[in-house]
Amino acid sequence: MPPELYVVLVAALPVAELRGAIPLGVALGLSPWEAFFLSLFGNLLVAPLALAFLPWAVGLFTRYPFFARLWQALEARVRLKGEEQVQRLGALGLFLFVAVPLPGTGAWSGAVLAVVLGLRRRYALLAISLGVLAAGLIVFLLTGGAVAGLNYLR
């Protein structure tokens, strides 16, 4: 499989997202810019799909006790991390939640938080997309700085 496809797929994964995909792309030999844009593309695919299908999937799967418990655990975790911020600041809070490149605060968690809190889809999509862009820029700058530092040590 070409490295570009790996980067897009990793960026679309719930745990790694672009926080893991950008460094992966650089490690696979892509330029930081290529890794950034491919990761951005892969992670931006998540938001509209998650916002569209998550309410349907939750309604379908929570009929089963196992999936209901999983959803409750995920909902509690996401609420703990971002509910206060989003309730206070609205879409800006959701943007900030997604933009901070920490584990558990990406597009997937932002979509879950938006669905749980009942945010309007178009505002949530804009906030998540801009948050992904901001997080991507932060990770891009950190990755570029790390690469430059390592090249300096050679």
Res 43: pLDDT: 95
* Tokens standing for residue 140: 């891009």
Res 71: pLDDT: 87
Res 90: pLDDT: 84
Q: What is the pLDDT of residues 16-33, one digit of tens each?
A: 999 999 999 999 999 999
Res 89: pLDDT: 86
* Tokens standing for residue 21: 């995909």
Res 61: pLDDT: 84
* Tokens standing for residue 100: 């901070």
Residues 10, 24 contacting (CB under 8 angstroms): yes
* Weakly modelled stretches of the chain, pLDDT under 50: none
Q: How many angstroms separate the CA atoms of 111 and 45, rounded?
A: 12
CA dihedral 87, 90, 94, 97 (to 10 degrees): -50
